Chain A
Amino acid sequence: MSTVKEKKDIKGYLADLFQNNRDLIDSGSSPPLNRHREKALSLFRKLGLPSRKSENYRYAPLGDLFEKEFAHSFNVKKVSFNIHDIFKCDIPDLDTNLILLVNGKYYNSENPLREIDGGIVVGSMAKAATEMPEIFEKYYNSMAGDTGDGLVAMNTAFAQDGVFIYIPKGSVLKKPLQVVNIMIHETDLMAQHRNLIIAEENSSARVVVCDHTLSANSFLSNNVTEIFAAPRAYFSMCKIQNEHNGSAQVSHTFVKQQRESNVFTNTISLHGGFIRNNVFARLDDEGCENHTLGLYLTDKKQYIDNYVKIDHAQPGCHSNQLFKGVLDDQASGSFNGIILVRENAQKTNAYQANNNILLTDDARINSRPQLEIYADDVKCSHGSTVGQLDQNALFYMRSRGIPEREARLLLMYAFAYEVIGRIDVKPLRNRIDDLVNKRLRGELSRCNNCVMSCG
């Protein structure tokens, strides 16, 4: 009984938190964003935080995450640091357009919204909401608004800022955009940011997102990204989650695709105490292509949870889910993938695979690859495996003079490469390759220059 009571309290506590800080939240954001808050709050009051009783969060020990005492990022004072200090460690050869978010707030107050090649607009969400109202109103919260997830509603109520990317018709972004999310604070902090990405017809863009923590406090971030891909748009997003193990992250990505668009998301989870990634993709017209990939390499007491739902609403679409993971020590994780093929979505091709390697007896994994199919002329398959390294392959390598440890690493590396190899930004691929290699070797790959010895 007591746990039930606490849960109720936490919902009320968060709602009160919102009410009490309403002024701060509003003043740190902009009116168009503020207009969505009331409705989102009442939705949150209705839905509450997801519990283990909800099928979608069945395995996620969300339990006391929100019960900790957190400071909130409503008006965190500016932190000053040299941006180059932080990024020595990141992708050296990658020539990118950089966007920085600090504790969920856009970090470049002199130039909150800028135009880069081909009329592409990137910058602060709060600023974009007032500067580009038609676009904002058309898309903001149009997908995330009708979700049944209380955490998304909570984000809509609380989020003050985030990244806004607008790629106009026919524009091609040559250099990838790099979004860096930084969490740094003197006390424990909860932050929620909101991203909106709009790729117009025939456009093409690639985005790299990196999550980092720069102080040893515990962090909780709950962020939402909405991606809209217009006909024949190409959009790819590669996300690297590399926060310290005292941090928790819940990320929700909503994708809506129109005719013949192609969206590619890849989430590489290296460090982070609690990670939950939700991806919802709706293939809303014919000929769409969607690739949702993920790689997780976890150890210690990390928890990683990937939830993917691909909604084939129209015929002739193609989707592919591939999630692979290596779990060490007491790490635990879960994968939950759904392919939904609606009644008229004939000629659908949909694939889903989840492969896991458990390195110790204390590691655990739950996998739920699901198919929900209402059309008959479709090709859908899914597969899920949990196992160890192939003993024959190990023996083969050892018989050729490769030490066991090395042979193991080679096999794990090869296992992970299937996901890494699909990254379409070469320097990034090399970098992640390197990170994964180091990660598997147990050398601290989080940040070579990182000041913290966390974990």
Chain B
Amino acid sequence: MKKEQDKILGKVTGSEYEFGFYTDIEQDSIGKGLNEDVIRQISARKKEPRFMLDFRLKAYRHWLTMEMPRWAKLNIPDIDYQDFIYYSAPKRKKKPKSMDEVDPELIETFNKLGIPLEEQKHLAGVAVDAVMDSVSVKTTFKETLAELGIIFCSFSEAVREHPDLVKKYMGSVVPYTDNYFAALNSAVFSDGSFCYIPKGVRCPMELSTYFRINAANTGQFERTLIVAEDSSYVSYMEGCTAPQRDENQLHAAIVEIVAMDNAHVKYATVQNWYPGDKEGKGGIYNFVTKRGICKGDNSKISWAQVETGSAITWKYPGCILKGNNSTGEFYSVAVTNNQQQADTGTKMIHIGKNTKSVIVSKGISAGRSNNSYRGLVKVLRGAENARNFSQCDSLLLGDKCGAHTFPYIETDNSTAIVEHEATTSKIGEDQIFYCNQRGISTEDAIGLIVNGYAKEVLNKLPMEFAVEAQKLLQISLEGSVG
């Protein structure tokens, strides 16, 4: 019994990365290395206004004074920042006016990803702003959104067409001084998405962007900014898969969310970048700064993430609960396998009165991986009646992996109620036995238990994503199981 279970677990956790493919598209890149000239070139090629260049240079100069953070429970090899290409864009002779003009290979890539742009328009009702190595290639549903006054475009387009909005909000949640990777991103960011929901508008569809790292040796530095005005609502999805590659690739993104009075922003991520092979060779370094601010009263920001990829993940989506009665939510499933390392969690900063936050984090570690939850709940003095509930569970599959929990709770107010609980366990033999007894094979039982364990979080994902996430969980862990 035990042996069979081990065998199945071995099979389950030994499965290889499925989305490893590489599309050959002509790239237009700036040479390797990073210095002020490279930044000027990036800015020039993107035809950016002066204020952007100044912002980039300020960030770069600040970055030079900073040191790589070492506090996370991660074993990060030394990174040579001069060894990356900081800008690479698919070469275009002219702007495609219809699908026919889009590079067929690019369409093929999307097809492999399961997002045929044309069909998706009709079937899923999802507007996809596809970021293919830094430059937004195709934006759909723009017209429909424009009618409502919603701006949904690539970041570079926003810089050109809505400089006032960008100027006002960019860096207001994650300033370039925030941390090492935020500074790096601010200096060299290539592209990303910009989303603006005007007052009182409820975005009728799920907005989504597929980020994809494609060219060899390019760090992808996107930057996303979402601004939700009073009483607006938007649900935003971001999903990633990456081609198989031997050299480690650097990814340092920034996501900023601003929610005004009564606004509600949902941000969902599925991250499945190449995690490296079984020996830990290759794989993406994922150092991301994501933060939302509930600026107005009664606003709400919720993060949902499924993290299955990347060799190293360093990511703490957080909420600053500044408005009274605002709410922050964080739901996360993090899966690590083989040699993957993840140090992920959230930050909930309670500033306003009657602010609430919920943290549900489910870690699953397998192989020789290390999976850490690191979260901060901070209640400031003025945050009367702040309420937090945190739950972080770890599931260990195999005896060589590690699961760690590092919660930080800082309470400065007597009316606050802060709760944290965590458990660590493995799949019990009695659970498997119970399933077997009812005619469910061990293989199915493990799949069932893992999915059930993560269900609480998967339920928080938008429908379209939940299916993909479930599939990813199975790919990352279950292999032939389930």
Contacts and interface: CB of A to CB of B under 8 A. Distances in A.
Interface stretch (A116-124, A209-217, A384-392): A384-392
B409 A372 contact: no
Contacts of A371: 394, 403-405, 422, 424
B407 A376 contact: no
Interface string A359-377: 1110111111111111111
Contacts of A380: 423-424
A358 B411 contact: yes
B406 A368 contact: yes
B407 A372 contact: no
A55 interface: yes
Contacts of B401: 374, 376
Given A364-B412, A371-B403, A385 B394 contact: no
B411 A364 contact: yes
Nearest to A327: B414
A359 B413 CA distance: 9
B411 A373 contact: no
A368 B426 contact: no
Contact of B408 (A368, A377, A378, A386): A368
B118 interface: no
A382 interface: yes
B1 to A, nearest CB: 15
A150 B401 CA distance: 32
Nearest to A355: B419
A363 B416 CA distance: 11
Nearest to B418: A386
A446 B411 CA distance: 28
A346 interface: yes
A369 B407 contact: yes
A423 B14 CA distance: 50
Interface in B408-463: 408-426
Given A346-B399, A376-B396, A55 B71 contact: yes
Contacts of A384: 407, 409, 418-421
B406 A370 contact: yes
A356 to B, nearest CB: 7
B482 interface: no
A55 B406 CA distance: 11
Contact of B421 (A377, A379, A382): A382
B61 interface: no
B381 interface: yes
A387 B414 CA distance: 7
B416 A376 contact: no
Main secondary structure of the interface of A (DSSP, over half): strand
A383 B411 contact: no
Contacts of B425: 378-379
Contacts of B304: none
A369 B420 contact: yes
Nearest to B426: A376
B399 A343 contact: yes
A381 interface: yes
A382 B410 contact: no
A370 to B, nearest CB: 5
B416 A372 contact: no
Contact of A372 (B404, B408, B417, B419): B404
Given A346-B399, A364-B412, A373 B404 contact: yes
Interface in A280-313: none
Contact of B417 (A360, A365, A379, A386): A386
B359 interface: no
B417 A387 contact: yes
A377 B422 contact: no
A360 B424 CA distance: 34
Contact of B411 (A366, A374, A375): A366
B402 A373 contact: yes
Nearest to A380: B424
Contact of A376 (B397, B414, B421): B397
Contacts of B400: 343
A185 B128 CA distance: 76
B398 interface: yes
A366 B415 CA distance: 15
A373 B418 contact: no
Contacts of A358: 411, 413-414, 416
Contacts of A372: 402, 404
B389 to A, nearest CB: 10
Given A373-B396, A376-B401, A363 B423 contact: no
Nearest to A341: B424
Contacts of A373: 394, 396, 402-404, 424
Contacts of A359: 414
Given A364-B411, A366-B410, A386-B418, A376 B398 contact: yes
A383 B426 contact: no
Of residues B401, B402, B417, which shows the largest number of chain A Cβ atoms within 10 Å of its Cβ? Answer: B402
Nearest to A366: B410
Given A381-B423, A383-B422, A376 B399 contact: yes
A363 B410 CA distance: 11
Given A358-B416, A383-B422, 4 more contacts: A376-B426, A381-B424, A383-B419, A386-B416
12 contacts: A343-B400, A358-B414, A368-B406, A369-B407, A371-B394, A371-B404, A372-B402, A373-B402, A376-B426, A381-B422, A382-B421, A388-B417
Q: Which 9 A-B pairs have the closest CB atoms?
A: A358-B414, A376-B396, A367-B409, A371-B405, A386-B418, A386-B411, A384-B420, A380-B424, A383-B421
